[in-house]
C-alpha cells in the first residue's frame, strides 16, 4: 500500500529495542526516538540501517577501569522478521548479496513504521563480505566505505525490491548514508535508458534529499581517498563532477550530502551556527533534537503524568501542566525512581549508596571532549563541598570507542579518583551504558551533570531525558543547554556562554563547576521546596519542548514537505 508522500530515513545506527545492540550512542538513540515519534504522529516513513550482527560491543572494565571489548551475542530472529528479497551491490568487483530483516516500530495509536536492517551474512557471499554488516564503526576505512555502500546503495535497492516504488524524501541521518545519492542518480539515468549526467539530474536528486549533520567533531565526517573509492566502489561518471561528488581527490560523505540536499540542518541552534562556520557557503538550518517522551519517562512518572496530565503521550506539549502537580507527589515519584537506581548501583558495586544523599549522574561516550573527569580536577575541593555543603555521591557510565585510547584512559582516571575519594564520596562506574541503564540513570539521579568542551557538543540528549523525569541539569552552556537553561528555574549553568572563538581553560571551567555545585548542594539540603520547584519546571518548560514529537513536526514542515 503506497501513501501519497513517503519518507525514507537512513541511519548507520538505530537504537530500537534495548536488547538489540544495533547502536553505539546518541546518534542511534535519536534515530530510534525519531522513528518512534514518527509512528506516534503517523508519518508515512520507512527506515534503513545495518543489522550489526556482532553488536556494538560488550564492555568489560577491569579493577583499574581499563576497558576491553567483546562481541555481543544476539539473535536477530528473536526481534526481527527475515524478508525474502535479495539485492546486490558491487564491492571490489565482487557482487555482495544483501538481505533485510524487518523490525516494526509501533506508535501509540498502533501505526507502524518498518525498519529494514540490512545483512550481508549470507552463504553466497565471500567470507570477508559476510562480515560487512557485523561491526558498527569497526575496523578500517575500507570496511567503513564498504558498509556505506551497503547502507546507501544497497538500502535504496532493497527499498525498491520491497515494493517502495514511490518515495518522496530521503533523509540522511548523518553523512554515513550519503552514497544513496549516487544510486538515486543511477536510477534516474537507467529510467531514461542511459546518457550523460546533466545538471537537471542533480537538481532532481537535490529536491528529494534532506541531510542532518550531527557533530562538529572531525571523526564524525567520513572521507576516503579516491584511490580507495575506485578500488572498493569502482569508477563512476559522477566523480567527474568535481565540486559536487568529490573534492581534493577525496570522497567526502558530508560534502556529498551537503551538495545533494535541498534542506540541511544542525541539531541545536548553536550547532546550526557552528555548522555554518564549518561549511561556509551552504544554507544550514537548525532543528533542535528531542527525546521520545513515552520511552524516556520512568514508570513512577508515567503513573504521575497519567493521573495529572491525561493524554500527555499523544500531546507532549501538555507536559506544561506539570506546573500543577503538587510537590509532595513529584518528590515521591522521584524517590521511587531513585530507590530503583540506588538498588541497582549497590547490587552492581557493593558501595552501599544511600537514597537520602544527593546523587549526581554523568553518562555518555567516554571521549576527551566530553570531559567526564572535569569534576575531579581538584579532589580536595570536591571533598570539601561534600563535607561542608552536604553529602554527595556520583554515578558514572559510558563506553569508549575501541580505538579511543584517550577515552579509555579517561575511564581509568575516574576509577582512580573514585579510589582516592572512597572514604568521603561514593562513586560508581556502571559498565555497558545502554538504553535501559540510560533510563534508570537519567530518572534516578538528583542532578544530571554535563561538562563538555564547547562548542563540541552538537546537542546532547541525555539531559533532555533527565528533564522529562524532573531531573535538572548542571551543565556547561553548550548544545541544547543554551536553549534549555533558565538559571535556577530549569537547572544551572556552569560558567558563561563564552563566544565560540574564546578558548577556555579546564581550570577555569572546573572553578565555575565547583562554585555552582556548592550552591546546588546547599539548595538541595536546605530548601527542598525550591528544589522541587526546579523539578517541576524542568518538566513543564523542557519536557514539553525537547521531545521528538515537536522535533518531527518541525522536520515535516521544514524538511519533508517544505
Ligand atoms: C541518550 C543516550 C546517549 C546520548 O546521550 P548524550 O547526552 O547525547 O551524550 C548515548 N547513549 C545512550 C545509551 C543513551 O541512552
pLDDT in tens, 108-162: 999 999 999 999 999 999 999 999 999 999 889 999 999 999 999 999 999 999 9
Q: How many Cα atoms are found within 13 Å in the side-chain-facing hemisphere of 313?
A: 17
The pTM of this model reads: 0.97
Retrieve residue 202's grid coordinates: 542533480
Return the pLDDT at 243. Answer: 83
- Name the pLDDT band for 219 (thresholds 50, 70, 90): confident
Return the pLDDT at 3. Answer: 47
Say how many Å lie between the CA of residue 231 and the centre of ligand 1: 36
Q: Which residues pair with 104 in a beta bridge?
A: 114
Mean pLDDT within 542-560: 97
Evaluate if residue 1 carries a pLDDT over 70. no
The DSSP result for 440-476, as a single string, is HHHHHSSEEEE---TT--S---HHHHHHHTT--EEEE
Q: Which domains does the chain have, with CATH numbers?
A: 7-290+551-560 (3.40.50.2000), 337-538 (3.40.50.2000)
Residue 448's nearest CA partner among 484, 399, 416 is: 484
Contacts of 335 (CB under 8 A, 6+ apart): 355
Nearest protein Cα to ligand 1, atom 3: 26
The DSSP result for 243-295, as a single string, is HHH-BTTEEEHHHHHHHT-SEEEESSHHHHHHHHHHTTTS--EE----B-HHH
Q: Is 382 in the pocket of ligand 1 (CB under 6 A)?
A: no
Identify the three-state secondary structure at position 8.
strand
Torsion-angle region of 395 (φ positive above 0: left; ψ -120 to 50: alpha; else: beta): beta
Q: Is 29 in the pocket of ligand 1 (CB under 6 A)?
A: yes
Return the pLDDT at 167. Answer: 97
- Name the pLDDT band for 498 (thresholds 50, 70, 90): low
Quick one: which atom of ligand 1 is closest to the CA of 462? 7
Q: Which residues pair with 11 in a beta bridge?
A: 173
Q: Is 461 in the pocket of ligand 1 (CB under 6 A)?
A: yes
Cα 491 from Cα 484, distance rounded (Å) = 9
Q: How many other CB atoms are there within 10 angstroms of residue 348's CB atom?
A: 12
Cα 404 from Cα 217, distance rounded (Å) = 14
Contacts of 497 (CB under 8 A, 6+ apart): 477, 482
C-alpha separations of 429 from 228, 370, 426, 449 in Å: 41, 16, 10, 14
Q: Which residues pair with 88 in a beta bridge?
A: 97
The DSSP result for 109-173, as a single string, is TS-EEEEEEEE---TTS-HHHHTTTT-TT-S-HHHHHHHHHIIIIIHHHHHHHTT-----EEEEE
> Are residues 26 and 540 in contact, defined by beta-carbon separation less than 8 angstroms?
no
Task: Using the structure block, give the residue that is written with the C-alpha cell 523542557.
Answer: 542
Cα 219 from Cα 215, distance rounded (Å) = 9
Q: φ, ψ for residue 104 (rounded to 5)? A: -95, 120
Quick one: which atom of ligand 1 is closest to the CA of 291? 1
Evaluate if residue 4 carries a pLDDT over 60. no
Nearest protein Cα to ligand 1, atom 2: 26
Q: Is 55 in the pocket of ligand 1 (CB under 6 A)?
A: no
Contacts of 140 (CB under 8 A, 6+ apart): none
Percent of the chain with pLDDT over 70: 98
DSSP state of 547: B
Q: Is 438 in the pocket of ligand 1 (CB under 6 A)?
A: yes
Q: Which helix (H) or strand (E) holds 518?
A: helix 506-526
The overall average pLDDT reported for the chain is 95
Return the pLDDT at 502. Answer: 62
> Are residues 177 and 213 in contact, defined by beta-carbon separation less than 8 angstroms?
no
Mean pLDDT within 35-45: 98
Cα 134 from Cα 401, distance rounded (Å) = 16
Q: Which residues pair with 102 in a beta bridge?
A: 81, 116
Say how many Å lie between the CA of residue 292 and the centre of ligand 1: 13
DSSP state of 57: P
First to last CA, the chain: 24
Say how many Å lie between the CA of residue 447 and the centre of ligand 1: 16
Mean pLDDT within 462-481: 98
Retrieve residue 308's grid coordinates: 495529572
Evaluate if residue 429 carries a pLDDT over 90. yes
Q: Is 460 in the pocket of ligand 1 (CB under 6 A)?
A: yes
Per-residue pLDDT of 222-238, as tens digits, reads 999 999 999 999 999 99
Per-residue pLDDT of 65-88, as tens digits, reads 999 999 998 999 999 999 999 999
Return the pLDDT at 503. Answer: 65
> Are residues 152 and 177 in contact, defined by beta-carbon separation less than 8 angstroms?
yes
Quick one: which atom of ligand 1 is closest to the CA of 479? 8
Amino acid at each position: 500500500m503506497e501513501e501519497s508522500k513517503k519518507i525514507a530515513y537512513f541511519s548507520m545506527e538505530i537504537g530500537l529495542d534495548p536488547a538489540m545492540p544495533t547502536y553505539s550512542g546518541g546518534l542511534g538513540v535519536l534515530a530510534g526516538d525519531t522513528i518512534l515519534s514518527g509512528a506516534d504522529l503517523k508519518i508515512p516513513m520507512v527506515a534503513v540501517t545495518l543489522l550489526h550482527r556482532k553488536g556494538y560491543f560488550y564492555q568489560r572494565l577491569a579493577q583499574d577501569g581499563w576497558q576491553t571489548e567483546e562481541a555481543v551475542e544476539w539473535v536477530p530472529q528473536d526481534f526481527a522478521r527475515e524478508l525474502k528479497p535479495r539485492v546486490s551491490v558491487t564491492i571490489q568487483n565482487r557482487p555482495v548479496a544483501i538481505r533485510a530483516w524487518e523490525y516494526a516500530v509501533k506508535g501509540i495509536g498502533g501505526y507502524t513504521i518498518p525498519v529494514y536492517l540490512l545483512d550481508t551474512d549470507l552463504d553466497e557471499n565471500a567470507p570477508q563480505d559476510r562480515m560487512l554488516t557485523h561491526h558498527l564503526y569497526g575496523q578500517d576505512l575500507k570496511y567503513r566505505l564498504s558498509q556505506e555502500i551497503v547502507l546507501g546503495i544497497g538500502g535504496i535497492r532493497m527499498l525498491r525490491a520491497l515494493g517502495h516504488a514511490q518515495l518522496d524524501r530521503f533523509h540522511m541521518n548523518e553523512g554515513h548514508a550519503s552514497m544513496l545519492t549516487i544510486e538515486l542518480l543511477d536510477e534516474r539515468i537507467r529510467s531514461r535508458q542511459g546518457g550523460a549526467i546533466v545538471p537537471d539530474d542533480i537538481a532532481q536528486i537535490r529536491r528529494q534529499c534532506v541531510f542532518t549533520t550531527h557533530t562538529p567533531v572531525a571523526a564524525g565526517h567520513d572521507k576516503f581517498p579516491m584511490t580507495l573509492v575506485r578500488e572498493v566502489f569502482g569508477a563512476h561518471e559522477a566523480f567527474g563532477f568535481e565540486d559536487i561528488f568529490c573534492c581534493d581527490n577525496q570522497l567526502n560523505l558530508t560534502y556529498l550530502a551537503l551538495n545533494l540536499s535541498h534542506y540541511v540542518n544542525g541539531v541545536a541552534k548553536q550547532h546550526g551556527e557552528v555548522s555554518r562556520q564549518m561549511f561556509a557557503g551552504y544554507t544550514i538550518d537548525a532543528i533542535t533534537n528531542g527525546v521520545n517522551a513515552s520511552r524516556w519517562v520512568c514508570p513512577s512518572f508515567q503513573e504521575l503524568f497519567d493521573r495529572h496530565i491525561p493524554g500527555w503521550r499523544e500531546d507532549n506539549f501538555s507536559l506544561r501542566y506539570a506546573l500543577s502537580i503538587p510537590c509532595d507527589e513529584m518528590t515521591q515519584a522521584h524517590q521511587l525512581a531513585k530507590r530503583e537506581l540506588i538498588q541497582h548501583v549497590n547490587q552492581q558495586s557493593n558501595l552501599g549508596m544511600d537514597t537520602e544523599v544527593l546523587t549526581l549522574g554523568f553518562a555518555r561516550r567516554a571521549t576527551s571532549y566530553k570531559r567526564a573527569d572535569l569534576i575531579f580536577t581538584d579532589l580536595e575541593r570536591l571533598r570539601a563541598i561534600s563535607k561542608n555543603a552536604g553529602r554527595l555521591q556520583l554515578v558514572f557510565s559510558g563506553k569508549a570507542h575501541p580505538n579511543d585510547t584517550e577515552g579509555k584512559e579517561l575511564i581509568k582516571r575516574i576509577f582512580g579518583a573514585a579510589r582516592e575519594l572512597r572514604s568521603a564520596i561514593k562513586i560508581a562506574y556502571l559498565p555497558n551504558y545502554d538504553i535501559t541503564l540510560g533510563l534508570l540513570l537519567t530518572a534516578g539521579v538528583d542532578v544530571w551533570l554535563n561538562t563538555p568542551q564547547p562548542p563540541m557538543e552538537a546537542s546532547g540528549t541525555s539531559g533532555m531525558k533527565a528533564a522529562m523525569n524532573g531531573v535538572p541539569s548542571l551543565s556547561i552552556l553548550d548544545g541544547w543547554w543554551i536553549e534549555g537553561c533558565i538559571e535556577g528555574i530549569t537547572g544551572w549553568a556552569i560558567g558563561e556562554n563564552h563566544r565560540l572563538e574564546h578558548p577556555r581553560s579546564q581550570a577555569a571551567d572546573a572553578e565555575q563547576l565547583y562554585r555552582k555545585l556548592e550552591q546546588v548542594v546547599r539548595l538541595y539540603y536546605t530548601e527542598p521546596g525550591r528544589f522541587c520547584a526546579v523539578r517541576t519546571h524542568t518538566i513543564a518548560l523542557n519536557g514539553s519542548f525537547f521531545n521528538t514529537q515537536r522535533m518531527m513536526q518541525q522536520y515535516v514542515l521544514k524538511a519533508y514537505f517544505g
